[in-house]
Amino acid sequence: MAIRLQKVLADAGVASRRAAEEFITSGRVAVNGKVVTTLGTRVDPATDRVAVDGEVVKPVRKVYVALHKPKGYTCTQSDPHAARRVGELLPPEWSNVYPVGRLDRESEGLLFLTNDGDFCLRVTHPRYGVHKRYLVTVSGRAEPWMLERFRKGVVCNEETLKIVQGKILASSPAGSLVEIELAEGRYREVRRLFASEGLEVERLVRTQIGPIKLGELRLGRWRTLTPGELKTLLTP
């Protein structure tokens, strides 16, 4: 059965589907020895020979990992400029998995890693409605009107940043603890939102992705997602 080339790459754990599209358009992918740069090209994995940078793509066992990311780790497997990478916390044989979305280096909490491009798309693209929750410690007093402003949206560098909902758990002039829910995690979105009100984020912990909670997973440790968890994540 013929399927889209970028899906073949994603299913093989080469990259997420979005990244696979970049591989194709940049001329890194060949089918039966011929470079293909057209998105939407269909191939039959059973009969066609697909290669990336000259290496034949082979099907791999799908892996779905939940990791409690510590502060100071970069969400990458291979960046040579990163002092510490989340891939270092996983078994060596899982070198082909990649982060689902991202947490910036100074943030902590729940992070998924996988070699399944479809899973990555389903969890990260806002049209699928997989929300993320965070516990945020900020300097200074957080006020309810700030969260209402965040909910309506804040324009920053021609980009609209917004939350789905928020709750102040503790607040004082010295600092506040706030729970935030996002529909789409834009680059440093929570930090930029609070910065717009003059508050610095001192600690940011992602506690939940969709129905999956960080729970008692210890800092720096990982576990595989159960079939039941995968079903609840991927069920529309």
Active-site residue set: 104
Angle separating helix axes 117-124 and 227-234, nearest 10 degrees: 50
Which residue type does 133 have?
R
Beta strand 201-209 pairing with 108-114? parallel
The C-alpha atoms of residue 230 and residue 169 are separated, in whole angstroms, by: 30
Structure tokens at 174: 């010295």
- 121-142 burial code (b ≥16 CB/10 A, e <16): bbbbeeeeebbbbbbbbbebeb
233's enclosing H/E stretch is: helix 227-234
Give the end-to-end CA distance of the chain in Å, rounded to a whole number. 25
Long-range contacts of 47-56 (CB under 8 A, 24+ apart): 50/5, 50/8, 50/9, 50/12, 52/9, 52/14, 52/23, 52/28, 53/28, 54/30
The C-alpha atoms of residue 66 and residue 61 are separated, in whole angstroms, by: 17
The C-alpha atoms of residue 227 and residue 230 are separated, in whole angstroms, by: 5
